[in-house]
C-alpha cells in the first residue's frame, strides 16, 4: 500500500526519499523516518536539510521573489489555478498519504486536500481583487490611494496535524500576492510535504516560474531557528502549539518582523436547555472524536445546562462505546491513531490527572487494544467534572480525544466558563433561542471571546471563506479567507500632487516668503 502510494505521487524516485531504512535499524544521521502511526512502523526516510542547504534555498527564494513579484497578479492567479487543477488530479493519493502519515481517516485526509483546492480557487479570484482604497485628499489637485505590494519570501511553519491544508492557506494566498513561500513542515509529516510541494513546484516551473514554492525539511535547532531569525523572511506564519508560538513570536518580534501565529485551542460547546439535542449530539460527536481529537478546533469541553446533561451524556457514552477505532484507510473506521507514543503518554497522563482531580471517567480512559491496533491507539474518553466545577487539567490542551463535561445553571455562567481558559480559538452554542444565540455573539464583545463562534454547529470544520484563527494564547493570527491576504502584502499609501503649487497637510505654512 505505502509503496504504491509513494509511486503514484512520484515519491519513490524522489532524491530526498530513502526507501530502504524501513526495518528497525537506526536511521543514518541526516535522515528522518516518517512513521505510520497506525502500525508504529516506518514508511520511508527523508533526507534532512542542513544550515548549508537552507542557505542555498534562501538564495533561490530571494532570486525567485525578484522575478515573481514582477508577474501581474492575475497571471500569478493562473499559476495557482493550474496548481489547484493538479491537486484535483492527485486528490485521492495525496489524501491517502495524509491518512497514512498522520493517521487521520481517509475521508478527512481527502477533505484536507480538498481544502487546499478550495483555497486555491479562492486565491484565483483574489488575484483580480487585491483592492486598495482611494481616499479624498484635503489638498486641491492631489490624489491619495493605497496600493498593496508583494511582501517578500515568506516563512511557513506547519504543525503535523494539517500537513497539507495549512501550507495551502498560506502558500496559495502568498503566491497570488507575489510572495515566494519557504515551507518548513513538521518532521512528523515530511512525505506529505514533499508530495504537496513537488506538485506546486512542478506546475509553476512548467509555466516558467521557478523558485516560487520552496521547501526546507530540517530540525528546529538547525533549520527552524535559522528561519525565524532570518531577516530575509519579513513574515513568519507559524502554526502549532502555544509553546512554539511563544518562542517564534518573541524571536520574530525582536527583529521587528511580522508574525502570523495560529496556535492551540481549548474549545467548548455550550448546550442550552432548549437545544435540539440530536443536532447537538452530532456536532459534539464529530467535534470531540473526529481526527482522534487532534484538531486545533477539537471540542475539548462540553458545558451543558443541568436539566439536559444526563440525557446528552448518556447519548454520547452510547455512541463512544460503539465507535470504530482502527486503520485510518479502512472505510469503516471513524477514529484513527494518535500521532506517536508521546501523544499516547500525554493522553494517559491527562486521564490520570483528571481522576486525581476528582473527575469521573464515563467512558474510555485507556489505550485501545486488539486486532489491528498495534500503533498508537487510544479510546475516546468522556470525563465528568466534579460538582465543585473545578478540574485544572481541563484548562490544558491535551492533543487527544478527551471531552470534559461541565454543568451550569445560567447562560452567563456558561459563557464565563467557556471563556475561562487561556486559549481563544473556537466556540459553539446549541440553542433554539435567538436571545441565547445573540447573547453568545454579543456585539458588545461580552459573549464568546474566541476567533470562531458557531450557532448550532460544532467547533470543528471551518470553511475556507472566513478568516480562520483565534485570540489570547491562540496567537491572534488570521489565515485563509476574508481579508487575511493583507498579511501577505505590504501597504503603501500614495499621495500625488498633480498641481503646480506645494501645499502642506494641515494647512501648515513653511518656507521663504519673498
- Residue 363: strand pairing partners: 382
Q: How far apart are CA 66 and CA 70, in angstroms?
A: 7
Q: How far apart are CA 98 and CA 106, in angstroms?
A: 8
Among 159, 180, 288, 450, binds ligand NAD (CB under 6 A): 159
Q: Which is nearer to ligand NAD, 281 or 468 (CB)?
A: 468
450 is a catalytic site residue: no
Say whether 30 sits in a helix, a strand or coil. Answer: coil
Q: Pick the closest to residue 272 from 162, 385, 451, 414 (CA basis).
A: 414
Q: Which is nearer to ligand NAD, 179 or 473 (CB)?
A: 473
Are 413 and 375 in contact, with CB atoms under 8 Å apart? no
Least separation in angstroms between residue 510's CB and ligand NAD is: 49
Q: Does 228 bind ligand NAD (CB under 6 A)?
A: yes
Q: How far apart are CA 312 and CA 305, in angstroms?
A: 10
The contact mask relative to ligand NAD for 329-368 (x = CB under 6 A, - = no) is ----------------------------------------
Binding segment for ligand NAD (CB under 6 A), chosen from 48-56, 69-77, 238-246, 322-330, is: 238-246
Q: DSSP labels for 231-280?
A: TT-SEEEEES-HHHHHHHHHHHHHTT-EEEEE----EEEEE-TTS-HHHH
Are 267 and 426 in contact, with CB atoms under 8 Å apart? yes
Among 5, 157, 171, 180, binds ligand NAD (CB under 6 A): 157
Say what angle helices 165-177 and 190-206 make with each other, to 10 degrees.
Answer: 30
Q: Which of residues 246-265 bind ligand NAD (CB under 6 A)?
A: 247-248, 262-265
Least separation in angstroms between residue 203's CB and ligand NAD is: 24
Least separation in angstroms between residue 238's CB and ligand NAD is: 6
Among 241, 357, 456, 497, binds ligand NAD (CB under 6 A): 241
Least separation in angstroms between residue 3's CB and ligand NAD is: 26
Q: Does 284 bind ligand NAD (CB under 6 A)?
A: no
Q: Does 222 bind ligand NAD (CB under 6 A)?
A: no
Q: Does 220 bind ligand NAD (CB under 6 A)?
A: yes
- Site size toward ligand NAD, by CB under 6 A: 27
- Residue 467: strand pairing partners: 480
Q: Does 240 bind ligand NAD (CB under 6 A)?
A: yes
Say whether 455 sits in a helix, a strand or coil. Answer: strand
Least separation in angstroms between residue 463's CB and ligand NAD is: 14
Q: Kind and range of the H or E element at 202? A: helix 190-206
What CA–CA distances, in Å, run from 74 to 130, 178, 432?
A: 10, 10, 45
Are 266 and 396 in contact, with CB atoms under 8 Å apart? yes
Say what angle helices 106-126 and 165-177 make with each other, to 10 degrees.
Answer: 10
Are 65 and 219 in contact, with CB atoms under 8 Å apart? no
Q: Does 173 bind ligand NAD (CB under 6 A)?
A: no
Q: Pick the closest to residue 448 from 427, 433, 469, 476 (CA basis).
A: 427
Q: Which is nearer to ligand NAD, 42 or 240 (CB)?
A: 240
Catalytic residue among 35, 112, 115, 262: 262
Q: Which is nearer to ligand NAD, 162 or 440 (CB)?
A: 162
Q: Strands, DSSP E only, in 39-121?
A: 41-47
259 is a catalytic site residue: no
Q: Does 233 bind ligand NAD (CB under 6 A)?
A: no
Catalytic residue among 115, 296, 397, 479: 296
245-254, Cβ contacts within 8 angstroms, sequence gap of 24 or more: 245/473, 245/475, 248/157, 249/475, 251/225, 252/228
Are 406 and 385 in contact, with CB atoms under 8 Å apart? yes
Among 399, 404, 485, 488, binds ligand NAD (CB under 6 A): 399
Least separation in angstroms between residue 306's CB and ligand NAD is: 30
Q: Does 296 bind ligand NAD (CB under 6 A)?
A: yes
Least separation in angstroms between residue 474's CB and ligand NAD is: 6
Q: List residues near ligand NAD by CB under 6 A.
A: 157-162, 184, 186, 220, 224-225, 228, 239-241, 244, 247-248, 262-265, 296, 397, 399, 425, 474
Catalytic residues: 262, 296
Amino acid at each position: 500500500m505505502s509503496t504504491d502510494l509513494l509511486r503514484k505521487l512520484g515519491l519513490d524516485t524522489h532524491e530526498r526519499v530513502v526507501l530502504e531504512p524501513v526495518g528497525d535499524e537506526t536511521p543514518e544521521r541526516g535522515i528522518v523516518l516518517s512513521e505510520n502511526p497506525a502500525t508504529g512502523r516506518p514508511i520511508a526516510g527523508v533526507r534532512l536539510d542542513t544550515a548549508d542547504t537552507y542557505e542555498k534555498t534562501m538564495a533561490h527564494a530571494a532570486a525567485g521573489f525578484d522575478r515573481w513579484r514582477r508577474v501581474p497578479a492575475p497571471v500569478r492567479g493562473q499559476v495557482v489555478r493550474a496548481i489547484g487543477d493538479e491537486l484535483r488530479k492527485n486528490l485521492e493519493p495525496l489524501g491517502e498519504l495524509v491518512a497514512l502519515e498522520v493517521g487521520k481517516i481517509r475521508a478527512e485526509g481527502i477533505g484536507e486536500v480538498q481544502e487546499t483546492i478550495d483555497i486555491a480557487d479562492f486565491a484565483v479570484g483574489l488575484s483580480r481583487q487585491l483592492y486598495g482604497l482611494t481616499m479624498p485628499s484635503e489638498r486641491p489637485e492631489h490624489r491619495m490611494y493605497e496600493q498593496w505590494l508583494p511582501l517578500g519570501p515568506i516563512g511557513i511553519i506547519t504543525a503535523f496535524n494539517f500537513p497539507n491544508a495549512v501550507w495551502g492557506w498560506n502558500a496559495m494566498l502568498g503566491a497570488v500576492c507575489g510572495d515566494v513561500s519557504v515551507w518548513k513542515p513538521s518532521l512528523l509529516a515530511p512525505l506529505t510535504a514533499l508530495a504537496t510541494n513537488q506538485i506546486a513546484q512542478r506546475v509553476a516551473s512548467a509555466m516558467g516560474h521557478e523558485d516560487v514554492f520552496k521547501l526546507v525539511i530540517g530540525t528546529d535547532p538547525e533549520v527552524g531557528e535559522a528561519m525565524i531569525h532570518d531577516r530575509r523572511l519579513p513574515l513568519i506564519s507559524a502554526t502549532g502549539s502555544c509553546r512554539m508560538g511563544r518562542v517564534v513570536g518573541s524571536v520574530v518580534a525582536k527583529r521587528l518582523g511580522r508574525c502570523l501565529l495560529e496556535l492551540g485551542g481549548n474549545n467548548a460547546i455550550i448546550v442550552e436547555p432548549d437545544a435540539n439535542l440530536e443536532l447537538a449530539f452530532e456536532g459534539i460527536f464529530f467535534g470531540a472524536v473526529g481526527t482522534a481529537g487532534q484538531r486545533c478546533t477539537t471540542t475539548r469541553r462540553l458545558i451543558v445546562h443541568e436539566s439536559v446533561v444526563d440525557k446528552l451524556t448518556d447519548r454520547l457514552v452510547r455512541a463512544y462505546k460503539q465507535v470504530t477505532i482502527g486503520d485510518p484507510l479502512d472505510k469503516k473506521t471513524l477514529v484513527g491513531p494518535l500521532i506517536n507514543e508521546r501523544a499516547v503518554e500525554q493522553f494517559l497522563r491527562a486521564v490520570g490527572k483528571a481522576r486525581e482531580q476528582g473527575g469521573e471517567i464515563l467512558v474510555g480512559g485507556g489505550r485501545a487494544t486488539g486486532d489491528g491496533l498495534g500503533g498508537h491507539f487510544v479510546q475516546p474518553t468522556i470525563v465528568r467534572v466534579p460538582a465543585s466545577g473545578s478540574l485544572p487539567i481541563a484548562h490544558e490542551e491535551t492533543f487527544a480525544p478527551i471531552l470534559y463535561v461541565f454543568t451550569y445553571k445560567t447562560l452567563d455562567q456558561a459563557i464565563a466558563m467557556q471563556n475561562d481558559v487561556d486559549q481563544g480559538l473556537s466556540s459553539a452554542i446549541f440553542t433554539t433561542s435567538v436571545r441565547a444565540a445573540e447573547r453568545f455573539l454579543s456585539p458588545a464583545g461580552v459573549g464568546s471571546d474566541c476567533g470562531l463562534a458557531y450557532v448550532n454547529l460544532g467547533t470543528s470544520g471551518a470553511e475556507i471563506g472566513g478568516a480562520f484563527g483565534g485570540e489570547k494564547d491562540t496567537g491572534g493570527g488570521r489565515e485563509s479567507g476574508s481579508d487575511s491576504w493583507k498579511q501577505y502584502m505590504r501597504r503603501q499609501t500614495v499621495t500625488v500632487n498633480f498641481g503646480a503649487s506645494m501645499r502642506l497637510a494641515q494647512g501648515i505654512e513653511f518656507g521663504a516668503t519673498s
